Chains A and B, each alone.
Chain A
Amino acid sequence: EVQLVQSGAEVKKPGESLKISCKGSGYIFTSYWIGWVRQMPGKGLEWMGIIYPGDSDIRYSPSFQGQVTISADKSISTVYLHWSSLKASDTAMYYCARLRGSGGSLLQEMRYWGQGTLVTVSS
């Protein structure tokens, strides 16, 4: 069974750094793209970016390029989303999601989702 398990909720102050995680299991971790999706309070879904753990090929949405860093550690089947300096506007639920099929194609839907990580940034 494919599972994506995300790290727990975080409360941080503006200017602090943060790395949240998404651990995949039940499949060959290196063979599937995993992306990140933001959902601000009461708002819609926003695609942030995606990584192919096999070769760490990363694509960012223009809206999030330079704002966050996506990375992966193949040895522990985990993808990360990192902020170097949080802002109050980063307060949101963040979901990781895996594409349906294996291989390098991005032309697929997000089939499997993590449970979400709530990030709250407040002074």
Chain B
Amino acid sequence: QSALTQPASVSGSPGQSITISCTGTSSDVGSYNLVSWYQQHPGKAPKVMIYEGSQRPSGVSNRFSGSKSGNTASLTISGLQAEDEADYYCCSFAGSSNFVVFGGGTKLTVL
């Protein structure tokens, strides 16, 4: 069982928006504005899409956005495109004992 809870799968049609939730606790997501989101295509290394909750690295589409409320972080992808189909993982700093925890991952299907 992963430290952070994500839905196993989400789906949407091209052009639509989807949101992936990531629920933690007051010891990780709730305590730090340090949630990051990673995209992983099959057979590839993960790629960071969002860091520090809502920041986008250079080169990442502005269709990707992040937010947080309490112990739950969210990743929203607007204007879905076929190439967005991938697995998405949230990740949070979790203090000086556990350091870093991942969510179990969400498979995004673009219909």
Contact = CB atoms under 8 A, between A and B. Distances in A.
Contacts of B89: 44-45
B45 A62 contact: no
Interface residues of B, number: 26
B93 A62 contact: no
Given A107-B32, A108-B51, A45 B38 contact: yes
B99 A59 contact: yes
B97 A107 contact: no
A20 interface: no
A59 B32 CA distance: 19
Given A107-B34, A109-B36, A109-B52, A47 B45 contact: no
Given A47-B99, A50-B99, A111-B51, 18 more contacts: A44-B104, A45-B46, A45-B91, A45-B102, A46-B102, A47-B91, A47-B100, A61-B99, A62-B97, A100-B51, A106-B93, A108-B51, A110-B46, A110-B48, A111-B48, A113-B46, A113-B47, A115-B45
Interface of A: 35, 37, 44-47, 50, 59, 61-62, 95, 97, 100, 106-111, 113-116
